[in-house]
Amino acid sequence: MTVNDIKNAKIKSWIEECVKMCEPDQVVVCDGSAAEYDRLVKVCVDAGLATPLAKKPHSYLFRSDPSDVARVEKRTFIASKKQEDAGPTNNWIDPVELKATMKGLYKGCMHGRTMYVIPFCMGPLGSPIAKYGIELTDSEYVVLNMDIMTRAGEKVWPYLDDNFVPCLHSVGKPLENGAKDNGVWACAPVEKKYISQFPEEHLVWSFGSGYGGNALLGKKCFALRIASVIAREEGWLAEHMLILKLTNPKGEVKYVTGAFPSACGKTNLAMLIPTIPGWKVETVGDDIAWMKFGKDGRLYAINPEAGFFGVAPGTSAQSNKNALEAASKNTIFTNCALTEDGDVWWEGIGYPAKGKLVDWKGNVRDALPKDKSPKGEEFAHPNARFTAPAKQCPCIASDWESPEGVPISAILFGGRRPSTVPLVHQSRNWNHGVFLGSIVGSEITAASTIDASQVGKIRRDPFAILPFCGYNMGDYFQHWIDVGNAAKDKDLLPKIFYVNWFRKDDNNAELPGGFMWPGYGDNSRVLEWIFDRCDGKDNFIDTPIGYMPKEGAINTDGLADYYKKTLPEILKVDVEGWKKEVKDIRENHYPKFGKHLPKELMSILDDLEKRLNAAN
């Protein structure tokens, strides 16, 4: 198929306009076939950009440029017509000015390259919740990753109409006069990188980066930043959330979604292996959930993606056996280390490497006798990734592609909070749950900042969506409140919980890493309590911060004695700690949103303060 064969006039003229601007040597309309995948892999291998892995069938290792290793938040823009509509937490440039700048960069940017046309669907094909887009890109790596991460290719055309999200991407490095990449990852210098969302036009323009969220435009740019805007217009929720399917020993099923800031073990929770007998946890999604009311008045979620773009370092048989299995074949690895026998290796994989390794920068170095490396000398980049088909995950739920989605009973929020926030508490109602989402954050550690003065403060990441909300975050809070108000029956709304797996007691030498809760598979004990709460079980006490497990309500069978001893402490309300929390929210967090902060959230904060004062 060629561009001339495209029937839809709007799509055809948009592609022609982009071809005129970018001036590629040729245009290829992707069919999404296995043959096409293998042909493009060969292009990458022959160009020295990809290495086939002898130990993992049909899998390849790519090394990016050292300057192009992660999402670039400071070069990510929400170009709404009014700055106020982007809000205080997004970078804003006037769309007319940004388009002029970017058109200058796009002019001739695909010289010597092929423009690939990727029709794709976010969500199961034909699902009433799914949405469609077309990515134009000059990167074979992007085509391969989009093939895994989305439903892409020929099968999408019957569903495409004028209502598609146009996504234009270029690595920003034209090849003039027959120049070749010669095994060097193509990208532009940081000041020329632009990851731009135009919310009023539902349009994405990305330039200068070939990596992950900057370049696979279906993911963060479309499924979160643009989809959050569409969701607000249409009355649904586009969220940075995992989706889990829980089955109890009686065979009863509930689905939950969960939002966690980075480095809180979201992918591990999405693929958790429960330690409590008889329980089953299965994955519907690991990163993004789109939730819409069904005819029965319940919120239904789909995972708009078809693959996992997971962080490799720290993924081991102990932390996430299912992710390792998902990435055991048909997988693209980026910025991992290469072993002598043709496998990938990374820090925290659970075993030391042997002999020599090629590190993520392409240097051959002797492996160390452990699976850790000094900071800055890692063999795999800390943001090294695997791109694996979701269907390969051993715990993928049988209904993960259900077109109508799965009915959500509970929504979880969490952060890395070494003090104050208990293991789990439940909101009193939907708006109180919105309050909990609005205060999500993790404590800043020396490892997570370069500014020593910030250590110990809370880095708020409301709903864990701060870098991915396509409009004013205050209006986003209001949208959540509006969705609650739009429910036919409030009792059918998901119950909302705040969990914290990361309480610490550094003075207790018995606790591994000082953590007061084991986490990982033992989080199933908390999921059990949540499951029962959704059934209205009398397993709770009313506290100043919300509903919490009553004594004995968390299943501790088989739990190590030292965790049984710490449990009462992490199930207590730290009244003084919460008073400091209220002060921080009132003085440092909520004022950022000015008049866009819903009054309901301020009343809930006042109410929390009153309850804490009354608890003295």
Question: Would you please indicate which residues are annotated as catalytic (active-site) residues?
Answer: 264
Does 211 interact with ligand O2Y (rule: CB under 6 A)? yes
Stretch that binds ligand O2Y, among 212-220, 330-338, 416-424, 490-498 (CB under 6 A): 212-220
Between 386 and 590, name the residue whose CB sits nearer to ligand O2Y. Answer: 386
- Under the binding rule (CB under 6 A), the answer on residue 309 touching ligand O2Y is yes
108 and 99 Cβ atoms separated by less than 8 Å: no
Positive/negative CA dihedral, 259, 265, 266, 271: negative
CB of 228 to Mn ion, least distance (A): 13
* CB-CB contact of 18 with 11 (8 Å): no
At closest approach, how far in Å is the CB of 77 from ligand O2Y?
16
Closest CB 72 distance from ligand O2Y, rounded Å: 9
Residue 303 beta carbon to Mn ion: minimum distance, rounded to whole angstroms: 12
Q: Least distance to ligand O2Y from the beta carbon of 404, Å?
A: 25
* Nearest distance in Å: CB 267, Mn ion: 9
- 3 state DSSP class of 432: helix
Segment near ligand O2Y (CB under 6 A), from 135-143, 205-213, 270-278, 425-433? 205-213
Distances in Å between the alpha carbon of 258 and those of 36, 252, 261, 411, 427? 36, 20, 10, 6, 14
Tell me the residue nearest to Mn ion as measured from the CB.
287
Give the span between the Cα atoms of 337 and 364, in whole angstroms.
10
32 counts as binding ligand O2Y under rule CB under 6 A: no
The kind and range of the H/E element at 423 are none
Is residue 285 part of the contact set for ligand O2Y (CB under 6 A)? Answer: no
Tally of CA atoms within 13 A in the half-sphere of 345 that contains its CB = 27
85 or 287: CB nearest Mn ion:
287
Q: Output the residue with the shortest Cβ distance to ligand O2Y.
A: 212
Quote the CA–CA distance of 208 and 195 in Å, as a whole number: 8
Binding-site member from 112, 153, 210, 213 for ligand O2Y (CB under 6 A): 213
Q: Which stretch binds ligand O2Y (CB under 6 A): 26-34, 210-218, 294-302, 495-503?
A: 210-218
Instruction: State the Cα–Cα distance between residues 230 and 131, nearest whole angstrom.
Output: 10
Residue selected from 135, 138, 287, 528 as contacting ligand O2Y according to rule CB under 6 A: 287
Rounded CA-CA distance 523/90 in Å is 33
212 interacts with ligand O2Y by CB under 6 A? yes
CB of 239 to ligand O2Y, least distance (A): 12
Q: Among residues 70 and 481, whose Cβ is nearest to ligand O2Y?
A: 70
Q: What is the three-class DSSP state of 202?
A: coil
Of the candidates 423, 428, 415, 417, the one whose C-alpha atom is nearest the C-alpha of residue 544 is: 428
Q: Give the C-alpha separation, 261 to 501, whole Å.
A: 13
Residue placing its CB nearer to ligand O2Y in the complex, 77 or 578:
77
Contact flag: residue 263 with ligand O2Y (CB under 6 A): no
Q: How far is the CB of 422 from Mn ion (least distance, A)?
A: 25
Of 265, 236, 253, 27, whose CA–CA distance to 123 is shortest? 236
What DSSP assignment string belongs to 507-574?
T-TTSGGGBSS--GGGGHHHHHHHHHHHTT-S-EEEETTEEEEPTT-S--TT--HHHHHHHHHHTS--
- Residue-wise DSSP of 322-391: HHHHHTSSS-EEES-EEETTS-EE-TTSSS---SEEE-TTS-EEEPPSSS---TT--SS-TT-EEEEEGG
Tokens of 400: 């993960």
Segment near ligand O2Y (CB under 6 A); pick from 34-42, 115-123, 207-215, 400-408: 207-215
Q: Which does 70 bind (CB under 5 to 8 A by kind): Mn ion, ligand O2Y, none?
A: ligand O2Y
By CB atoms closer than 10 A (0-12, 13-18, 19+), residue 159 is middle
* Residue 596 interacts with ligand O2Y (CB under 6 A): yes or no: no
- From the list ligand O2Y, Mn ion, none, partner contacted by residue 262 (C-beta under 5 to 8 A by kind): ligand O2Y
Nearest to ligand O2Y of 49, 264 (CB atom):
264
Of 204 and 585, which has the nearer Cβ to ligand O2Y? 204
Single-letter code of the amino acid located at 298: R
Q: Is 600 in the site for Mn ion (CB under 5 A)?
A: no
Backbone region of residue 475 per phi and psi (left: phi > 0; alpha: psi in -120 to 50; beta: other values): alpha
Q: Would you give the end-to-end CA distance of the chain in angstroms?
A: 72
- Whichever of 206 and 555 has its CB closer to ligand O2Y, that residue is 206
Q: Shortest gap between Cβ of 287 and Mn ion (angstroms)?
A: 4
Nearer to ligand O2Y, 95 or 213 (CB): 213
Report the site for ligand O2Y in 54-83 (rule: CB under 6 A).
70-71
Closer by beta carbon to ligand O2Y, 216 or else 276: 216
Q: Is 287 in the site for Mn ion (CB under 5 A)?
A: yes
Taking CB under 6 A as the rule, does residue 383 contact ligand O2Y? yes
| Binder of residue 309, out of ligand O2Y, Mn ion, none (CB less than 5 to 8 A by kind) | ligand O2Y
Residues 314-353 contacting ligand O2Y, CB under 6 A: none
3-state helix, strand, coil split of the chain in percent (to 5) is 35, 20, 45
What does the per-residue mask of binding to Mn ion show for 177-196, with x meaning CB under 5 A?
A: --------------------
Where does this chain bind ligand O2Y (CB under 6 A)? 70-71, 211-214, 262, 287, 309, 383
Where does this chain bind Mn ion (CB under 5 A)? 287
